[in-house]
Amino acid sequence: MDQKQTYGRPHPGKSVKVSYTGTAGTTSALPETCDAVRVVATTDCFIEIGLNPTAVADTGLYLPALVPEYFQCPPNAKVSAIQVSAGGTIYCTPM
């Protein structure tokens, strides 16, 4: 059986979450040593990643529900999300 590997190594105890609705929710800053982030959302949403992001419906990066994605990010980045049609929560794990 082939082994699958994830991008990077998770930072134990450093995961953050934030709720979003029709108004964007934004996480606190990820660790300075982080160069990537794993993002999972409980509902379909649009996200933005950066130092001061604000997700915008229909123009942000579409993230389907319950599909983990890995993104490169700058140190101290934040993740912002806004709903497609229902509010939810994003879970972000620094890598």
- Condensed to tens digits (0 to 9), the pLDDT of residues 39-51 reads 999 999 999 999 9
Q: What pLDDT sits at residue 73?
A: 94
Q: Which pTM does this prediction carry?
A: 0.89
Mean local confidence (pLDDT), 30-55: 96
Tracing tokens 């606190």 back to the chain, one arrives at 28
How is residue 21 written in tokens?
């609705």
Tell me if 29 sits within 8 A of 75, measured CB to CB.
no
How is residue 14 written in tokens?
């450093």
Q: What span, in angstroms and rounded, lies between the C-alpha atoms of 60 and 45?
A: 9
How is residue 40 written in tokens?
């999972």
How is residue 50 written in tokens?
């950066």
Residue 12: burial class (beta carbons within 10 Å; 0-12, 13-18, 19+): exposed
Q: What pLDDT sits at residue 7?
A: 64
Q: What span, in angstroms and rounded, lies between the C-alpha atoms of 33 and 11?
A: 9
